[in-house]
Amino acid sequence: TSSRTGEEQDKSDKKLLDEAIELTAVTSVASAEDISLLVANREADSAGAHIGRNAYWVSFGRKIKGANVKLAWDTVRGSHSSTRLVRFDLDFCDDRVQVVASCKSSNAISIETRDGDQNDDFEWFSWLKSNQKKYFSSRKIGSNPHFKVAAENAKQMIRFAPPGEIVAPRKDLSTPEHEAVRSDYLDWVVKVLPVVEDSITRAFEDFNSLDIVKEATQTEPENSP
């Protein structure tokens, strides 16, 4: 997490520098005060976003308490301020996937592969995509999953977004303007997380059982004439 935070800060600093250079290039007369004001505004925006995300995850931590989840969602650090919260475990799908919660509505919950064999992951998630109706019930989740699956992808991904009546796509629920719908959004996340966890573990077990049957069939001795 600290590495990710450092990378985000580096990107923020680079963007800030690029904007300052662009301001100077466009006006040709940008004063030190102009650039100083730009920097101050950007820093204020960054600090506000940090505070908003921190408050969001505090609310998430309160809501998730007592939920029937498999992963350690209730151990959210009080200082957590990323847009994402990632959870995985050795006993969860053999550590092949991680589940991610986000304050961004289009990626509210996602399942991502983790450092496994790229071909194996692609085969598994392709099978999942073909059998999505069996494992990811839109009746229980409230919406259909979105798959990002391709042989060339380093990671395969499934993402889930809440129904439009809860919140529209591409909204950041950590911002003040969406605070009014944050509680409903978090209620949906907390309700759906156990469903997604159960679904992916069941699918993982079923997919592995198919492999076992396939291997047994391939190694079965032929009947003697």
Rounded mean pLDDT, 174-203: 97
- The per-residue DSSP string of 157-210 comes to EEEE---TTT--SS-BTTSGGGHHHHHHHHHHHHHHHHHHHHHHHHHHHHHHHH
Task: Calculate Rg over the CA atoms of the chain.
Answer: 22
**Degrees (nearest 5) of the Cα angle 123, 128, 133?**
160
The Cβ-side half-sphere exposure at 132, using a 13 Å CA radius, reads 18
Rounded CA gap, 204 and 202, in Å? 5
For residues 88 and 212, the model is more confident at 88
Rounded mean pLDDT, 195-224: 77
Is residue 191 pLDDT above 50, yes or no? yes
Is residue 27 pLDDT above 50, yes or no? no
pLDDT band at residue 44 using 50, 70 and 90 as cut-offs: very low
Residue 13: predicted pLDDT: 59
Rounded mean pLDDT, 32-61: 72
Residue 48: predicted pLDDT: 77
pLDDT tens digits for range 104-155 = 999 999 999 998 999 999 999 999 999 999 999 999 999 999 999 999 999 9
Q: What percent of the chain has pLDDT over 90?
A: 69
pLDDT tens digits for range 54-96 = 999 999 999 999 999 999 999 999 899 999 999 999 999 999 9
Nearest to 200 by CA among 117, 103, 115, 127: 127
Which residues 6+ apart lie within 8 Å of 5 measured at CB? 82
Residue 15: predicted pLDDT: 58
Is residue 6 pLDDT above 70, yes or no? no
The Cβ-side half-sphere exposure at 66, using a 13 Å CA radius, reads 3
The Cβ-side half-sphere exposure at 181, using a 13 Å CA radius, reads 19
Rounded mean pLDDT, 167-192: 97
Is residue 102 pLDDT above 60, yes or no? yes
Is residue 203 pLDDT above 60, yes or no? yes
Q: CA 133: distance to chain centroid?
A: 21
pTM: 0.76
Domain ranges of the chain: 56-217
